Amino acid sequence: MSVTAPQGFRAAGVVAGLKDNGGRDVALVVNDGPSRAAAGVFTRNRVRAAPVEWTEQVLKGGRLRAVVLNSGGANACTGAPGFQDTHATAEAVAEALEDSAGEVAVCSTGLIGVRLPMEVLLPGVGKAAAELSRGDGGLAAADAIRTTDTVAKIAFRQGEGGYRIGAMAKGAGMLAPSLATMLCVITTDADLPAEALDRALRAATAVTLDRLDTDGCMSTNDTVLLLASGAAGVVPGEEEFTALVTDVCADLTRQLLVDAEGASKAIAIEVVGAASEDDAVTVGRSIARNDLLKCAIHGEDPNWGRVLSAVGTTDAVFEPDRINVAINGVWVCRNGSSGDDRDRVDLRPRDVTITVDLSAGSASATIWTTDLTAEYVHENSAYST
Amino acid sequence: MSVTAPQGFRAAGVVAGLKDNGGRDVALVVNDGPSRAAAGVFTRNRVRAAPVEWTEQVLKGGRLRAVVLNSGGANACTGAPGFQDTHATAEAVAEALEDSAGEVAVCSTGLIGVRLPMEVLLPGVGKAAAELSRGDGGLAAADAIRTTDTVAKIAFRQGEGGYRIGAMAKGAGMLAPSLATMLCVITTDADLPAEALDRALRAATAVTLDRLDTDGCMSTNDTVLLLASGAAGVVPGEEEFTALVTDVCADLTRQLLVDAEGASKAIAIEVVGAASEDDAVTVGRSIARNDLLKCAIHGEDPNWGRVLSAVGTTDAVFEPDRINVAINGVWVCRNGSSGDDRDRVDLRPRDVTITVDLSAGSASATIWTTDLTAEYVHENSAYST
């Protein structure tokens, strides 16, 4: 029920030998058509990995025959040689499929600043091409893109008229402003042109994956791709299709959130009563990035003072003495001062909801984050990524 | 050698009973003149504690007779009643000194959102007034403003012609954009008008205390005050005086840095080759707030990829392929790619210097931060501040 759930797609995930742990590390997703329409969104980091530069160029044509992905190396900050490596990887896929490298997307994830061992990667690409299948390939591909992910992330939805959307994603740390070290491939057998796919993907990610902010760190490699084969012969309404893609992205967002490195809490920060959606997002992100608050939630301390302190660093429209804050439903702060009894807040469940009412308008947004734990520190001080 | 080192000042630090641990918690610093010229800088957080609102108003007159400080409660997010508590505290000092509350600054630090127990605080103010001295008072006052600080922070300098500057500060966490939960009182027996003190203090803090960014969290209570008694009868040149105040503030910055909560590394981020000083500060802060990099430094991993990734999130002027990064003197990244052997970097010492050359101009700035440790998480999840 991964990227091969829709008709017209084959996939594979193989062991090339890039990863020290001997796990799968090269994935290939192939669109057999009849359509090849595709769209993508990328990290907003100005330091961008070679595969991001390459894939953005490829997508200007609005078509993708295949996506090749590797874990075990980000191919970021590797200069012109790194870009040539990405190009060679796409060429290897094109050769195996007897197709054009100009319609092959490349995604990489892993350590920044190190060249990929092409003598290991290219044979892996050939191996993946030889193992392409609709049966097991989808799950194997989802497994092959994992880095510190403890589980493979996949999603599946069925639309009106019988078309399908399938997806796989990876990402466990560095989840921030714009999609984070997140690689995500979404497939559909619906028949829509590239422009419609692009609109749907941007609308969907803007309110889901883009609002996941686990540690404020933005990756050099984030890529989310949407490929349509048209094999189901269904042309969905754009609104319905966008809603379904959004639903898939929300599902993946949730999976990424609960598997974030070292996290013990999944925190939803709902900002309501904002003067604009931008204000709501700004305030939500500021709270999501407040290490002191994230420590407090880890310690199950409903420390609303740290919430207000984070709100106060933004330029959003608000008056400090009109802010209300609820933690897991208890309004512990009313009008900028102490509200209901904080002892009534139960912070033992994994899911935590912090609601901030700015009393400045009617816009709202939700940002998802995690608590800050000793395990996060351990994982990111012992593991070079 | 604290705030009472200059002539014309008395101080005290007493146990009022605000702190659970039975330690000193109320400090009083009194300027006996002949001058009462004073200046102050405050947090830029828009959520400001009552004592900050009060003290900023008081300073509009450019004169301070006394500063009363308490740990054990921040008096932030306490509404109008909290402001009345601050006013009453200033009145208690005025009464004890037979002077005007309009020249009494108030500073508080501790948990946000809780009213101060005035029945405990006011007797403490009286007790402090009764114990004012030049001898032991300075050190006792520095001790009384500690929260999670493991040591009292004080500084002392002597200027040309024999005038003196003394200082005390507290702050261990939440050290960020603008002075953090940092309370700092600087005294001098030089004779300068309030306007000159204000210029010197702003210039000094802008390049020292304001560039300490341990966890990106900005306090509601930050206050730095500079009081001049004129008792030495020396009128220093403004440039020399500013340099000396800057030196005192740099000394305190260093003390705050090495005592930051849970830190095992003191990291200086030197940004050079920037198109403007603002760019240098922006880039330095972005690096200082990158939790992944702070974890890597904790793990003694010279992960320059995380440095570039942080630089890439800013809007500073730079080209990714012209950035150079040195860690403890080894240029591990040249022209945006791998440079000298990272195994040559020795990250065992407590002091770590990360130099980032943007190759975009000649401006520079240094930001100081710490690593991110399991101890930081523990201290801030177990301790409600």
User: pLDDT by residue (tens digit) across A128-178?
Assistant: 999 999 989 999 999 999 988 889 999 999 999 999 999 999 985 444 433
- Give bridge partners of residue B168 from the DSSP assignment: B154, B185
State which residue of chain B sits closest to A294, comparing Cα positions.
B381
Band of residue B97 on the pLDDT scale cut at 50, 70, 90: very high
Band of residue A238 on the pLDDT scale cut at 50, 70, 90: very high
Q: How many helices (H) and strands (E) does chain B have?
A: 10, 15
Mean pLDDT, all residues of chain A: 92
Angstrom distance (rounded) from CA B254 to CA B156: 14
Quick one: CATH architecture of A9-258?
4-Layer Sandwich (3.60)
For residues A44-55, give the mean pLDDT: 92
Query: Residue B171 above 60 pLDDT?
Result: yes
Band of residue B147 on the pLDDT scale cut at 50, 70, 90: confident
Shortest alpha-carbon distance between residue B89 and chain A (Å) = 20
Residue among B221, B380, B383, B384 with most chain A CBs within 10 A, to mutate = B380
CB < 8 Å to B220, chain A: 305, 308-309, 312
CB < 8 Å to B44, chain A: 313
Least confident of B224-228, B230-234, B309-313: B309-313
Angstrom distance (rounded) from CA B334 to CA B323: 7
- What integer pLDDT is reported at residue A384 of this predicted model? 52
For residues B230-235, give the mean pLDDT: 97
pLDDT tens, position by position, A340-357: 999 999 999 999 999 999
Cβ-count burial of B281 within 10 angstroms (0-12 exposed, 13-18 middle, 19+ buried)?
A: buried
- What integer pLDDT is reported at residue A149 of this predicted model? 86
- What integer pLDDT is reported at residue A54 of this predicted model? 98
Residue among A294, A307, A380 with most chain B CBs within 10 A, to mutate = A380
A380 is in an annotated binding site: yes
Shortest alpha-carbon distance between residue B267 and chain A (Å) = 15
SS3 letters across chain A: CCCCCCCCEEEEEECCCCCCCCCCCEEEEEECCCCCEEEEEECCCCCCCHHHHHHHHHHCCCECCEEEEECCECCCCCHHHHHHHHHHHHHHHHHHHCCCHHHEEEEEECCCCCCCCHHHHHHHHHHHHHCCECCCHHHHHHHHCCCCCCCCEEEEEECCCCCEEEEEEECCCCCCCCCCCCEEEEEECECCCHHHHHHHHHHHHHCCHHHECCCCCCCCCCEEEEEECCCCCECCCHHHHHHHHHHHHHHHHHHHHHCCCCCCCEEEEEEEEECCHHHHHHHHHHHHCCHHHHHHHHCCCCCHHHHHHHHCCCCCCCCHHHCEEEECCEEEEECCEECCCHHHCCCCCCEEEEEEECCCCCEEEEEEEECCCHHHHHHHHHCCC
Q: Sheet of A66-70: strands edge to edge?
A: A9-14, A26-31, A66-70, A104-108
Amino acid letter for position A323: I
CB B298 to CB A381 under 8 A?
yes
- What integer pLDDT is reported at residue B262 of this predicted model? 83
Q: Which of A112, A310, A373 sits opposite B309 (nearest CB)?
A: A112
Tell me which residues of B are annotated as active site.
181
Query: Residue B366 above 70 pLDDT?
Result: yes
Q: Which of A303, A311, A372 sits opposite B47 (nearest CB)?
A: A311
CB A217 to CB B336 under 8 A?
no
Angstrom distance (rounded) from CA A303 to CA B217: 14
Band of residue B184 on the pLDDT scale cut at 50, 70, 90: very high
Residue among A381, A383, A385 with most chain B CBs within 10 A, to mutate = A381
Q: Which of B296, B308, B333 sits opposite A380 (nearest CB)?
A: B296
Per DSSP bridges, beta strands A363-370 and A351-357 are unpaired
**Share of residues in chain B with pLDDT > 90 (%):** 79
B266-382: what fold? Ubiquitin-like (UB roll) (3.10.20)
Residue among A313, A318, A334 with most chain B CBs within 10 A, to mutate = A313
State which residue of chain B sits closest to A110, comparing Cα positions.
B305
The domain locations on chain A are: 9-258, 266-382
CB B312 to CB A336 under 8 A?
no
Q: Where are the alpha helices (DSSP H) in B154-237?
A: 194-206
- What integer pLDDT is reported at residue A173 of this predicted model? 44
CB B215 to CB A291 under 8 A?
yes
Band of residue B180 on the pLDDT scale cut at 50, 70, 90: very low
Band of residue B385 on the pLDDT scale cut at 50, 70, 90: very low
- What integer pLDDT is reported at residue B380 of this predicted model? 77
CB A219 to CB B114 under 8 A?
no
ipTM comes to 0.85
Amino acid letter for position B84: Q
Query: Residue B265 above 90 pLDDT?
Result: yes
For residues A319-323, give the mean pLDDT: 94
CA A234 from centroid of its chain's CA atoms: 27
Band of residue B57 on the pLDDT scale cut at 50, 70, 90: very high
Angstrom distance (rounded) from CA B244 to CA A130: 72
Q: Report whether A205 contacts A134 (CB < 8 A).
A: no
Residue closest to B151 by CA, chosen among B15, B258, B20: B258
Q: Which of B216, B301, B337 sits opposite A291 (nearest CB)?
A: B216
CB A306 to CB B76 under 8 A?
no
Cβ count within 10 A of residue B319: 12
Q: Which of B46, B114, B321 sits opposite A320 (nearest CB)?
A: B46
State which residue of chain B sits closest to A311, comparing Cα positions.
B47
B244-248 contact pairs (CB < 8 A, 24+): B244/B157, B244/B159, B244/B165, B245/B165, B245/B186, B245/B188, B245/B200, B245/B201, B245/B203, B245/B204, B246/B203, B246/B204, B246/B207, B246/B208, B247/B157, B248/B155, B248/B156, B248/B157, B248/B165, B248/B167, B248/B186, B248/B204
B371, B377, B382, B383: CA torsion to nearest 10: 40
pLDDT tens, position by position, A273-316: 999 999 999 999 999 988 889 999 999 999 999 999 899 989 99
CB A311 to CB B217 under 8 A?
no
CB A47 to CB B112 under 8 A?
no
Query: Residue B215 above 80 pLDDT?
Result: no
pLDDT tens, position by position, A72-105: 999 999 999 999 999 999 999 999 999 999 999 9
Band of residue B172 on the pLDDT scale cut at 50, 70, 90: low
CB < 8 Å to A299, chain B: 380-382
- What integer pLDDT is reported at residue B279 of this predicted model? 97
Shortest alpha-carbon distance between residue A14 and chain B (Å) = 27
For residues B41-69, give the mean pLDDT: 95
Residue closest to A316 by CA, chosen among A358, A268, A269, A355: A358
* Equal fold, A9-258 vs A266-382: no
- What integer pLDDT is reported at residue B384 of this predicted model? 52
Q: Sheet of B26-31: strands edge to edge?
A: B9-14, B26-31, B66-70, B104-108
For residues B173-197, give the mean pLDDT: 77
Angstrom distance (rounded) from CA B242 to CA B285: 25
- What integer pLDDT is reported at residue A25 of this predicted model? 96
- What integer pLDDT is reported at residue B44 of this predicted model? 85
Active-site residue, selected from the candidate residues A4, A43, A78, A181: A181
- What integer pLDDT is reported at residue B313 of this predicted model? 87
Task: Count interface pairs A-B at CB distance under 8 A.
Answer: 207
For residues A195-205, give the mean pLDDT: 96
Angstrom distance (rounded) from CA A248 to CA A230: 18
3-state class (DSSP) for residue B128: helix
Band of residue A57 on the pLDDT scale cut at 50, 70, 90: very high
Least confident of A335-344, B214-223, B246-255: B214-223
